[in-house]
Amino acid sequence: MGMAHRSPENPENRYFVSKHAMDRIRQRAKITVQLDDMAIAGMVSEAIENSMEEQAPYSVIDEKGEQATLVELSSTLDPTLAIGKVFALIKPEPGKRDAVVTILTPAPARKLIKASEKEEPFNPVFSKLAGMTVPTQPRAPTNGNGKPPDLKPSAPSTEPPAVYLVLAPGNEVVKTGSKADVAQYIAADDRPQDLRLFKECAVRVKVETKVEIGD
């Protein structure tokens, strides 16, 4: 009885489909579904794979505050298994296949997407800077009365601001701008691991001309 909530392992499928997700499919079926759990799990897993090829999934935070993936199955799931739009909510299982934990209709799916957009975006490019600390600056010298000495105003910098480039596969430049601009662009991308970041640098070229004069 303790394992009654679990679905068969269906090892041939890319995704593990929970019993709860299968029950949700059966509740939304257009006809009385006579398929067993193994067949439904296979159809759902295949629909997810096909959807991933057609469109980028949504990265969301579920009601437990955990990272999850939301995949729309409206155009890839067998139409006899769903009425209208449906979404699969997928969560990673350490050491196992990713698991389809439930099937959602548009309203709760949109709620998850909207709530996740309010979360602080994760910056995969500059995340390594999070643990860095700024060294303490030494105390400024004084002129003997506790006041800092008169300083000449520094000349305004003529150095142009640094420009960063974001490259997609195939070396296509998809974004240029400041560090903050490109960081925001990469954080909002569905698959940031496919992007590469470069800093534009000035190049100085020295040309020497050698002239030989014949007799």
pLDDT in tens, 185-203: 777 776 666 677 666 766 5
101 in a domain, yes or no? yes
Residue 67, domain extent = 16-117
Do 112 and 199 fall into the same domain? no
Total residue count of the chain as it appears in this document: 215
38 in a domain, yes or no? yes
Most confident of 1-10, 138-147, 159-168, 190-199: 159-168
Number of domain units in the chain: 2
The C-alpha atoms of residue 111 and residue 18 are separated, in whole angstroms, by: 22
* 3-state class (DSSP) for residue 54: helix
pLDDT of residue 215: 61
pLDDT of residue 6: 42
Task: Using the Cα atoms of residue 11, residue 14, residue 15 and residue 19 in order, give the sign of their dihedral.
Answer: negative
Overall average pLDDT of the 8-20 stretch = 79
Do 28 and 94 fall into the same domain? yes
Beta strand 99-104 pairing with 16-17: parallel
pLDDT of residue 72: 94
- Domain boundary, last residue among 84, 117, 150: 117
Burial of 146 (0-12, 13-18, 19+ CB in 10 A): exposed
40 in a domain, yes or no? yes
Chain-wide mean pLDDT for the chain? 75
At which residue do the structure tokens 């305004």 appear?
156
